[in-house]
């Protein structure tokens, strides 16, 4: 049952009672008879409704023990707020103590404070620096989310911290000019590009850089180069290649490869493409050196299987076919040998396979006619001279041969 406590009228009535007990005048009966309105307001009769003052709702219901501001006789979840009532905000979920007017909002897609909105007031989080700075709500669709910074980008001349390291325009170039070793960057001053001046070109050297600033690297230094040496020098690189016991063969192949590897911008070489007395002329070039087993080579040509052949026409064909299967133009070798493997040199850039005949090659060096010799020092010289006559630096082979036909590989400077 709900009782309205008439605090201001009650205080006034008590004051009047005290005053009545102290002053002289008519008997109490006479006074009550003369003031029917006041007594009626203070002590309602059984058939009269009490007069309720405007501010009577300010105090809780004394009879119920004080259900919260909802003015409800029933508080099902015991959170101090009722779900129905005539005054005050109402509990929008009387089965959940965490939900009532004034409750703190949580990120769960629920309306905890009963204001008709969900997850409001949960603020935003900021993260990242410079151009990577982002601001994201702490809660999205009822789920907490973390702030994710943006991705840094290369620094530019724009007064913005593009790489998000806390500094602006550091090492940023407003413009670039020149190529290779001549490439330069213009200054950046307060986000404004400055003038760019390219460097000066110099002579090309073997260093992996475009020294002469023409857009090419080490050009003229990695191609084939014909270099003269001696068997005396070669035997110091691999014993057995002394010109007396061996002038061409596996020992000299290794010696010539090592000799060429010591030259600038060269990896290996072949030859001798010319030889006389102690003189040996070799062709040095850049190539891809690969260790390959005889089993692999035999899969390209069955007779190149270490027994009976480790070096010769069958292995020339096997190496050529192996390198071609790996995406190269051709290859030569072996430039080094092991018990069951060899190291071969595969060539791509500046190499071309050319078909010819022994009847043509013999015109460049007589003994290379397909009958007296099909492979050896005389054919090395014939192929070298043939390729040079075609505008190439040198050549090797034959990489394939049958009857009068011979395929050779010419290499460019």
Asked whether residue 329 falls in the same domain as residue 371, the answer is no
What's the angle, vertex CA 217, arms to CA 213 and CA 219, rounded to 5? Answer: 100
Q: pLDDT tens for residues 160-192?
A: 999 999 998 887 766 789 999 999 988 888 888
Instruction: Report how far residue 353's alpha carbon sits from residue 344's, in angstroms, rounded to the nearest whole number.
Output: 17
Asked whether residue 324 falls in the same domain as residue 369, the answer is no
Asked whether residue 339 falls in the same domain as residue 371, the answer is no
- The residue among 355, 360, 353, 413 whose CA lies nearest residue 388 is 413
376 lies in some domain: yes
Query: What pLDDT shows up at residue 173?
Result: 66
For residue 320, CA distances in Å to 43, 90, 99, 341, 346 come to 124, 91, 83, 16, 8
What value does the mean pLDDT take over residues 357-370? 97
384 C-beta neighbours (distance < 10 Å), count: 28
Of 347, 375, 395, which one is at a domain's C-terminal end? 347
Question: Is the per-residue pLDDT at 108 higher than 50?
Answer: yes
- Under the banding of pLDDT at 50, 70 and 90, the label for residue 218 is confident
- Under the banding of pLDDT at 50, 70 and 90, the label for residue 68 is low
Asked whether residue 260 falls in the same domain as residue 309, the answer is no
What value does the mean pLDDT take over residues 299-315? 93
Asked whether residue 360 falls in the same domain as residue 398, the answer is yes
What value does the mean pLDDT take over residues 362-389? 97
Q: Tell me which range, 12-26, 106-120, 124-138, 311-325, is most confidently predicted by mean pLDDT.
A: 311-325
45 lies in some domain: no
Question: Is the per-residue pLDDT at 360 higher than 50?
Answer: yes
DSSP 50: P
110 lies in some domain: no
Asked whether residue 262 falls in the same domain as residue 296, the answer is no
- Under the banding of pLDDT at 50, 70 and 90, the label for residue 221 is confident
Instruction: Report how far residue 315's alpha carbon sits from residue 401's, in angstroms, rounded to the nearest whole number.
Output: 12
Instruction: Report how far residue 412's alpha carbon sits from residue 266's, in angstroms, rounded to the nearest whole number.
Output: 13
Question: Is the per-residue pLDDT at 319 higher than 90?
Answer: yes
Q: Report the chain's C-alpha Rg in angstroms.
A: 52
Q: Minimum mean pLDDT among 147-161, 162-176, 218-232, 390-404: which range?
A: 162-176
Asked whether residue 298 falls in the same domain as residue 338, the answer is yes
Asked whether residue 391 falls in the same domain as residue 367, the answer is yes
Question: Is the per-residue pLDDT at 8 higher than 50?
Answer: no
Asked whether residue 316 falls in the same domain as residue 292, the answer is yes
Instruction: Report how far residue 164's alpha carbon sits from residue 176's, in angstroms, rounded to the nearest whole number.
Output: 22
Instruction: Report how far residue 2's alpha carbon sits from residue 101's, in angstroms, rounded to the nearest whole number.
Output: 22
Specify the pTM.
0.56
Q: Give the total number of structural domains in the chain.
A: 3
275 lies in some domain: yes
61 lies in some domain: no
- Under the banding of pLDDT at 50, 70 and 90, the label for residue 156 is confident
Asked whether residue 337 falls in the same domain as residue 381, the answer is no
Question: Is the per-residue pLDDT at 38 higher than 70?
Answer: no
For the chain, the average pLDDT equals 83
Asked whether residue 278 falls in the same domain as residue 305, the answer is no
401 lies in some domain: yes
Query: What pLDDT shows up at residue 74?
Result: 76
Considering only residues 93 and 12, tell me which one the structure prediction assigns the higher pLDDT.
93
Residue 45, helix vs strand vs coil: coil
Of 285, 307, 336, which one is at a domain's C-terminal end? 285
260 lies in some domain: yes
Question: Is the per-residue pLDDT at 349 higher than 90?
Answer: no
Of 240, 267, 285, which one is at a domain's C-terminal end? 285
Question: Is the per-residue pLDDT at 318 higher than 50?
Answer: yes
Asked whether residue 360 falls in the same domain as residue 343, the answer is no
The residue segments making up the domain with residue 247 are 225-285
6 lies in some domain: no
What value does the mean pLDDT take over residues 59-77? 51
């Amino acid at each position: 049952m709900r009782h309205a406590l008439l605090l201001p009228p009650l205080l006034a009535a008590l004051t009047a009672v005290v005053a009545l007990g102290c002053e002289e005048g008519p008997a109490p009966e006479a006074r009550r008879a003369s003031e029917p309105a006041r007594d009626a307001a203070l002590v309602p009769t059984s058939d009269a409704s009490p007069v309720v003052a405007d501010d009577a709702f300010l105090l809780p219901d004394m009879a119920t023990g004080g259900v919260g501001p909802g003015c409800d006789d029933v508080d099902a979840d015991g959170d101090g707020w009722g779900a129905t009532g005539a005054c005050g905000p109402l509990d929008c979920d009387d089965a959940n103590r965490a939900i009532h007017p004034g409750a703190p909002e949580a990120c769960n897609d629920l309306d905890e404070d009963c204001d008709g909105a969900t997850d409001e007031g949960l603020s935003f989080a900021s993260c990242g620096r410079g151009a990577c700075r982002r601001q994201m709500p702490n809660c999205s669709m009822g789920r907490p989310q973390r702030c994710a910074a943006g991705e840094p980008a290369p620094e530019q001349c724009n007064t913005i911290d593009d790489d998000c390291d806390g500094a602006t325009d550091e090492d940023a170039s407003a413009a670039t000019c020149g190529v290779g070793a001549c490439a330069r960057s213009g200054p950046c001053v307060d986000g404004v590009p400055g003038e760019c001046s390219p460097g000066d070109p110099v002579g090309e050297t073997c260093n992996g850089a475009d020294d002469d600033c023409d857009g090419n690297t080490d050009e003229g230094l990695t191609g084939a180069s014909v270099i003269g040496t001696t068997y005396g020098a070669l035997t110091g690189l691999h014993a057995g290649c002394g010109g007396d016991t061996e002038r061409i063969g596996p020992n000299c192949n290794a010696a010539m490869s090592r000799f060429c590897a010591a030259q600038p911008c060269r990896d290996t070489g072949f030859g001798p493409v010319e030889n006389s007395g102690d003189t040996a002329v070799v062709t040095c070039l850049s190539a891809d050196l690969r260790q390959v087993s005889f089993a692999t080579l035999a899969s390209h040509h069955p007779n190149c299987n270490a027994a009976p052949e480790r070096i010769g026409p069958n292995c020339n064909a096997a190496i050529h076919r192996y390198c071609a299967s790996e995406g190269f133009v051709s290859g030569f070798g072996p430039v080094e040998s092991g018990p069951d493997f060899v190291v071969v040199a595969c060539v791509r850039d500046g190499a071309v396979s050319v078909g010819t005949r022994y009847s043509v090659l013999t015109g460049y060096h007589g003994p290379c006619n397909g009958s007296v010799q099909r492979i050896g020092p005389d054919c090395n010289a014939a192929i070298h001279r043939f390729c040079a006559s075609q505008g190439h630096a040198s050549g090797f082979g034959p990489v394939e041969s049958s009857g009068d036909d011979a395929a050779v590989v010419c290499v460019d400077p």
